[in-house]
Chain A
Amino acid sequence: EVQLLESGGGLVQPGGSLRLSCAASGFTFNKYAMTWVRQAPGKGLEWVSGIGGSGRSTYYADSVKGRFTNSRDNSRNTVYLQMNSLRAEDTAVYYCAKRTVYGSGLSDYFDYWGQGTLVTVSS
């Protein structure tokens, strides 16, 4: 059974930093890309970042580029999201999801999701 467990959320002041973790189990971790999606309170889903199976390729939404860093440790089956220079608009539930992509990106979807971790940026 695929399981994804996020941790690391909490309250942080504007300009501060936070590192989220997502521990995965139930699948061959290093063979799959992973992604982070966030949802602000009462709002829709927003894709944040993706990372390839080896960790060499990373992708970011314009809203977080230069501030967030996506990485993974395949020996620990864990993906991380380092968030720096946090802003009030980064307040959201952050979900990690297993990503299945093939056909040169023609097919791209998130087949398993974690329960999410809440990040609140406020003074």
Chain B
Amino acid sequence: QSVLTQPPSVSAAPGQKVTISCSGSSSNIGNNYVSWYQQLPGTAPKLLIYDNNNRPSGIPDRFSGSKSATSATLGITGLQNGDEADYYCGTWDSGLSDSYVFGAGTKVTVL
């Protein structure tokens, strides 16, 4: 069971918007920045969002991140077929584990 909770899947039609939630606690999201990773089928993960809401160079502004208290959200607007992938949130957890933690991942399906 992951320390960070994500929905297993979300779906929408091309051009629509999806949001993915990531719920944690004060020992992780509540006191640290959140990052998001995209993993296309059969490939390595790629950094999508860092420091809650910043995009690395080359990531389109269709992808956005936000954080409030102990939860974070990834938004994807103008959904494209190429966005079909697994998405993971991650942050450091300074609780009992004192380690980096990932959510279990959310599969985005483009209908």
Interface residues of A (CB under 8 A from B): 35, 37, 44-47, 50, 59-62, 95, 100, 105-116
A107's partner among B51, B88, B97, B103 (CB-CB below 8 A) is: B51
- Given the known A-B contacts A108-B100, A109-B50, A111-B50, are A45 and B88 also in contact in the complex, defined by CB atoms under 8 Å? yes
Nearest B residue to A96 via CB reads: B44
Measured between beta carbons, the chain B residues less than 8 angstroms from A62 are 97, 99
Size class of the B contact interface (CB-based, 8 Å)? 20 to 34
Question: Which residues in B have some Cβ–Cβ distance to A below 8 Å?
Answer: 2, 31-33, 35, 37, 39, 43-47, 50-51, 56, 86, 88, 90-92, 94, 97-105
A/B interface sample: 17 pairs, CB < 8 A: A44-B2, A44-B102, A44-B103, A44-B104, A45-B45, A46-B102, A47-B101, A50-B100, A59-B98, A106-B33, A107-B32, A109-B33, A109-B51, A110-B35, A110-B45, A111-B50, A112-B47
Instruction: Determine if B100 and A35 form an interchain contact, defined as CB atoms under 8 angstroms apart.
Output: yes
| B41 shortest CB reach to chain A, Å | 12
Is the CB–CB distance between A108 and B99 below 8 Å? no
How far apart are B54's CB and chain A's nearest CB, in angstroms? 9
A109 adjacent to B47 (CB under 8 Å): yes
Bound Cα distance from A35 to B45, whole angstroms: 13
Give Cα distance in the complex from A107 to B46, angstroms: 17
The contact of A106 among B32, B46, B90, by CB within 8 Å, is B32
- Are A45 and B105 also in contact (CB < 8 A) when A108-B32, A108-B91 are? yes
Bound-state CA distance A114–B43 (Å) is 10
Beta-carbon contact of B105 and A109 below 8 Å: no
Bound Cα distance A95, B88 (Å): 15
Whether B90 and A61, one on each chain, are in contact in the complex, defined by CB atoms closer than 8 angstroms, is: no
